[in-house]
Chains A and B, each alone.
Chain A
């Protein structure tokens, strides 16, 4: 996975850093080295650039630059959009605002709900045996943990 694909609010671990030589030194110096943990803090208007915390510093990177950093997820919690088909998950948190929350409640999805991913693209889940279709944008705001 590329760093630019990691969802806001999650933590990832760097696998490799592949910048052109003139920038590589500075990027490594800032602490973007293999093995380091990066937190995706927030994104600017239009979703680009984004702020990351690495070794205690907040650094901005454009998505085109974050593309050059290969990462893997560390936290057990990740967005539903990254879940795998056929596996069971428990809902841990929501990243959306009040509208999103009421939408979730109306679908019967709450923190603690147990779900199963039935298919992807589009995502469809089963909750209490009932199938529910979920948009990709919504799936990014539902944080789950595998059971």
Chain B
């Protein structure tokens, strides 16, 4: 099988092209850094199987952030048959810079100019033959939206695979001083056998730039290389020359076009306004929550009614007996308790997806960066954290795009405080019982508190672990994009599906387990579950929790939705039982406990993988338990005193 690798800047439509070619469903976000690791797909073309590899979006082939390293190592070691460099038709410069870098590393490269439909719409003309001539590669114009040029892309790739014809090879000549140094290092490299798998010119240029990996490699062979200040100077000169070349080529190859997008400009002017920016951000968030609850709740009620009737019907058909109880009280009410919230969760993803799709989220990151800066984080980690509102697992995984290891670790450790969609059902349940009519406001408060808690934790951890050094922010603001219904649906489905899968697996299993633990030995308040809850209850007495709530918390570590399932099973009808057992402040305290305590198993596992050991995973567990207990205790005590 032949391999074709896709390389490009973030946000040039790489993943869209990948999807169009392979027919895969990979969600494409309108912000940099979606592909956190490489994705692979297979396309059959003219009787051959071609494996496509979608690599993370990068700006240069340094070896600093994990994204860059993944791409660079892949290009160096896996030797794909064709490397496709994708650039954005409306903004080719940075993409062509990457093309030059890739060309210095490998020869089997071709160039794809994507979003050609948008360029045409704006009357921009690109001369393909000029590009081919000056970069010495095959050039194809594509549009992932209209599908234009995809066949040609595949044909050209196949052409390179079968004939090894990469067009004409053009080598960019640098300044005299650089070229002389390159020649000297190249000569020395020729003698070192083990270095022959690399292009000598690439090694020499990287050595001049002061690339740590290459310097180490060359030192092994005792090849003299420049260091420190010299590296800095050469690196600047090399980059300058590349951009000079790109500018001169583009002057010949493209017609200028109306750069300023009036709509986009006007939009930016408002949403990132000095004074309005932050209020607009909060308003957008609040709107998203109102949409999640108010608009979606009739659907939830419908499902709720459906599930209750299903239970009644099953009871009628199956009669009384332990099997019926297992099916109705265990499976139907346990899984059903979670399914009721499916519309809310899909609603929230729809709202979040819309903001992301349009391109608002990077602007939001920009607007609140000053606050993040105070926390010694950056807008970039904000983008990872906001993914956590869906699920903490992708949030933790997306930190791979963060270049700074300190910022990355802190982001991973605080991410679980961002309240994920699995915790939403418990808020909705309790807010509906204790704060009727004010659900959206109460839940919004919890969300804001979760952000504040994340912020405080970040500052605290930074102070303790890293003595509080600030972290840089270099972020691209992408063009605004009209959300495509297909992409939006993919976004909602990709995330919502996960929730449904959980309902069918871990929540189903937990429901059955909880039913057994809660039913045997009979009666319910002498069962194993009761023993467990009662054993730990004294610990939670200061908080005012009932033993059944404690049991729910324990089971909830498997997946936080299980808290709701447990409630359903242990209380039968929580809305009529709970008000007699606890006060509104205790209910609020419990919501906060659920928000902050132990990340679920899946998140703990991913923290372990991403930080490379149990140390930080355990730290996260202990730390979050401590925070949850402290905050909830405060709410129970203060709330109790006020009432």
- Residues of chain A having any CB pair with chain B under 8 Å: 16-18, 21-31, 33-36, 42-49, 51, 55-62, 64-65
Contact = CB atoms under 8 A, between A and B. Distances in A.
A65 B373 CA distance: 12
B475 A59 contact: yes
15 contacts: A25-B235, A26-B59, A33-B243, A35-B244, A42-B268, A45-B370, A46-B370, A48-B370, A49-B369, A55-B91, A55-B93, A56-B92, A58-B477, A59-B477, A65-B473
Given A49-B473, A55-B94, A62-B472, A44 B64 contact: no
A42 B210 CA distance: 34
A23 B98 CA distance: 16
B236 interface: yes
Given A23-B403, A26-B64, A48-B369, 5 more contacts: A23-B472, A25-B64, A27-B474, A51-B477, A56-B92
Contacts of A51: 272, 366, 477
B90 interface: yes
Given A29-B239, A43-B274, A24 B370 contact: no
B272 A64 contact: no
Contact of A44 (B97, B272, B470, B474): B272
A14 B641 CA distance: 62
Given A24-B235, A29-B239, A34-B240, A59 B370 contact: no
B269 interface: yes
Interface string B67-103: 0000000000000000000000011111001100100
Contacts of B49: none
Contacts of A35: 240, 243-244
Contacts of B93: 31, 55-57
Interface in B489-546: none
A36 B366 CA distance: 23
A23 B475 CA distance: 12
Contact of B62 (A25, A33, A57): A25
Contacts of B273: 45
A66 to B, nearest CB: 10
Contacts, number: 129
B370 A21 contact: no
A44 B60 contact: no
Given A23-B472, A57-B94, A59-B475, A28 B64 contact: no
B379 interface: yes
Given A55-B94, A56-B90, A34 B474 contact: no
A26 B97 CA distance: 11
B367 interface: yes
A29 B97 contact: yes
Contacts of A45: 273-275, 277-278, 367, 370
A137 B316 CA distance: 79
A14 B209 CA distance: 20
Contacts of B474: 23, 26-27, 30, 59-61, 65
Contacts of A56: 90-93, 259
A42 to B, nearest CB: 6
B476 interface: yes
Contacts of A55: 91, 93-94, 243
For B59, B231, B232, the residue with the greatest tally of chain A CB atoms inside 10 Å of its CB is B59
A62 B477 contact: no
A61 B259 CA distance: 21
Contacts of B379: 49, 60
Given A45-B370, A60-B366, A62-B472, A36 B243 contact: yes
A65 B472 contact: yes
A26 B62 contact: yes
A62 B239 contact: no
For B232, B239, B475, the residue with the greatest tally of chain A CB atoms inside 10 Å of its CB is B239
Given A42-B269, A65-B473, A26 B94 contact: no
B244 A44 contact: no
Contacts of A57: 91, 93-94, 476
A123 to B, nearest CB: 23
Contact of B64 (A22, A30, A61): A22
A58 B475 CA distance: 9
A137 B60 CA distance: 39
B487 to A, nearest CB: 22
Given A33-B236, A44-B277, A49-B366, A28 B473 contact: no
Contacts of B65: 26
A21 B210 contact: yes
Contacts of B477: 51, 58-60
A34 B234 CA distance: 12
A39 B186 CA distance: 39
Contacts of B475: 59-60
Contacts of B272: 42, 44, 51
Nearest to B247: A55
A36 B209 CA distance: 20
A63 to B, nearest CB: 10
Nearest to B260: A53
Nearest to B63: A25
5 residue pairs, one from A and one from B, having the closest CB atoms: A29-B60, A25-B62, A28-B239, A55-B93, A29-B59
Interface string B354-368: 000000000000110
A62 B62 contact: no
Contacts of A42: 268-269, 272
Given A36-B243, A55-B94, A28 B60 contact: yes
A92 B279 CA distance: 33
Contacts of B239: 28-29, 33
A18 B236 CA distance: 9
Contacts of A48: 369-370, 373
Nearest to B403: A22
A62 B369 contact: yes
A61 B473 contact: yes
A21 B101 CA distance: 18
A117 to B, nearest CB: 28
A114 B167 CA distance: 59
B97 A31 contact: yes
B97 A17 contact: no
A17 B64 CA distance: 18
Contacts of B94: 29-31, 55, 57
Interface string B364-396: 001101100100000100000000000000000
A46 B367 CA distance: 9
A134 B367 CA distance: 31
Nearest to B475: A60
Contacts of A21: 210, 231-232
A22 B62 CA distance: 9
Contacts of B470: 64
A72 to B, nearest CB: 15
A89 B475 CA distance: 37
Contact of B60 (A25, A43, A65): A25
A29 B472 CA distance: 16
A34 B275 CA distance: 34
A22 B60 CA distance: 12
B236 to A, nearest CB: 6
A91 to B, nearest CB: 24
